[in-house]
Amino acid sequence: MELYDIIIIGAGITGYAGAVYAGRLKLKTLVIGKERGGIIVTTDVIENYPGFKSITGAELAAKVREHAMEYRDNVKFVDDIVERIEKRKGCFIIHTESRKEYRAISVLYATGTKHKKLDVPGEKEFFAKGVHTCGLCDGAFYKDKIVAVVGGSDSAAKEAVLLTQWAKKVYIIYRKEKIRAEPANMEKIDEKIKEGKIEIINNTNIKEIIGDRFVKRVVLDRPYKGSVDFPVNGIFLSVGIIPISDLAHEIGIDVNEKGEIIINRYGETNLPGFFAAGDVTDKAFKQAITGVGDAVSAVYSAYNFTKQRGRDMSMCDGCNRKIDECVRLHNR
Ligand SMILES: Cc1cc2nc3c(=O)[nH]c(=O)nc-3n(C[C@H](O)[C@H](O)[C@H](O)COP(=O)(O)OP(=O)(O)OC[C@H]3O[C@@H](n4cnc5c(N)ncnc54)[C@H](O)[C@@H]3O)c2cc1C
């Protein structure tokens, strides 16, 4: 079984950024992840990543991946999913979906998040038949149709603006009073409201989704223009995210009440050698640039950790030598 200095779990922009630094620091690195680029590839335009006035999410992720590939002597990528992490004395053993096992002295956990659902009748039944989580992926199916974005975050606002490219009308259905878009995105929303392309329905929830083969209407918990019956062809959910932290939690990594991995400013968790970065962590502002920055700090900490381990003569389980020797023997 090969031994890596660091295994990065998650091939999103955070994992890729970690790989760039790990490669430069000459750490023997493996990046494991199937969904290349992660959630950012579902984003149309990014206008707040320093150095790029405007770039698509897919382009940005591809650029960071390409950068990491420059260090291919040290960095390897595998398209796989991690199913289990085993903590051994001095090492982590990573078990994947395709029945492979990899050994590492340190781990960078960068698994991101998944979309929250509404949990209302009809949502499961009509998933991908009118209920979606990605405007960029599925918005074009709604040319000249009526769609609703559910949620009030900046991401929801961006989804709504994007969908106006195709839909004749986009409603934002939000459970609270006022949506929370960045000022620049709020300006875009206001423009679209003036053009009659976007309308916000606030203080309202969807109670049920109804259709035949595809979505036809939703039932609201409050009348809108006199009725709770609201005709709509497509629903784009942007109601929040759930951190994918279970595998880490299973080996004793501390998470907060939201399930986010608790890290310090060095990207360290409560378990030595186990680092985390990006949307899966407890940082307040989840953006591409903050994930990238955290990954860089975490990898630098991992670099110090692996160096220290060598000097401390810690044993790698199953190897029974100094880590440095162990690495050399395993990688021969
Ligand atoms: C609609 C929308 C608009 C946005 N707009 C902006 C913006 O304008 N500017 C900005 O900076 N940010 C924006 N963001 C936020 C930004 O996309 C995220 O903060 C960032 O992409 C998170 O990256 P990540 O790598 O931490 O997580 P993710 O991108 O979620 O990547 C995690 C990766 O880990 C993988 N993974 C999960 N579990 C496993 C496992 N067990 N084994 C292997 N791999 C696994 C996943 O498949 C995924 O590939 C937006 C987000 C959305 C949804």
**Tens digit of each residue's pLDDT (9 = 90 or more) over 252-262:** 999 999 999 99
- Asked if pLDDT for residue 150 goes beyond 70, the answer is yes
Q: Are 78 and 153 members of one domain?
A: no
Please report whether residue 101 resides in a domain. yes
332 confidence band (pLDDT: 50, 70, 90): very low
Question: Atom 7 of ligand 1 has which residue's CA nearest to it?
Answer: 46
Q: Write out the DSSP string of 64-129.
A: HHHHHHTTTTTEEEE---EEEEEEETTEEEEEETTS-EEEEEEEEE---EEE-----TTTTTTBTT
Supply the pTM of this predicted model: 0.89
Mark whether 109 and 140 lie in a shared domain.
no
Cβ proximity of 135 and 126 under 8 Å: no
156: nearest Cα among 240, 213, 231: 240
122 falls within a domain: no
| Closest-CA residue to 296 (of 269, 274, 277) | 277
Tell me, yes or no, whether 17 and 77 share the same domain.
Answer: yes
CA distances from 196 to 57, 190, 199 (A): 28, 10, 7
- CA gap 173, 54 in Å, rounded: 28
**Mean pLDDT score of the chain, rounded to an integer?**
93
Whether residues 233 and 303 share a domain: the answer is no
Domain closes at, from 237, 272, 306:
237
- Name the pLDDT band for 221 (thresholds 50, 70, 90): very high
* Residue 231 sits in the same domain as residue 283: no
Q: Are residues 197 and 245 in the same domain?
A: no
Q: One-letter amino acid identity for 321?
A: R
How far does residue 115's CA lie from ligand 1's centre (Å)?
Answer: 11
3-state secondary structure of 29: strand
Asked if 107 and 67 sit in the same domain, the reply is: yes
Domain CATH number, residue 154: 3.50.50.60
Q: Structurally, how many domains does the chain consist of?
A: 2
Residues 44 and 100 in one domain: yes
Burial of 58 (0-12, 13-18, 19+ CB in 10 A): middle
To test the pocket of ligand 1, the residue of 47, 172, 287 to mutate (highest count of ligand atoms within 8 Å of its CB) is 287
Residues 322 and 302 placed together within one structural domain of the fold: yes
Q: Which protein residue has the closest C-alpha to ligand 1 atom 37?
A: 111
Claim to verify: residue 217 and residue 251 sit in the same structural domain = no
Q: How high is the pLDDT of residue 67? A: 97
Residue 314, pLDDT > 60, answer no
**Is residue 162 assigned to a domain?**
yes
The tens digit of pLDDT for each residue in 35-81 reads 999 999 988 889 999 999 999 999 999 999 999 999 999 999 999 99
The atom number, within ligand 1, closest to the CA of 10 reads 34
259 and 228 housed in the same domain: no
Instruction: Check residue 319 and give its pLDDT.
Output: 60
Mean pLDDT of 176-205: 97
- β-bridge partners, 220: 206
274 is a domain residue: yes
Give the domain extent around 266. 3-114+241-330
6, β-bridge pairs: 29, 106
- Looking at the structure, tell me whether residues 269 and 233 fall in a common domain: no
Q: What is the pLDDT of residue 312?
A: 47
Give the span between the Cα atoms of 108 and 299, in whole angstroms.
7
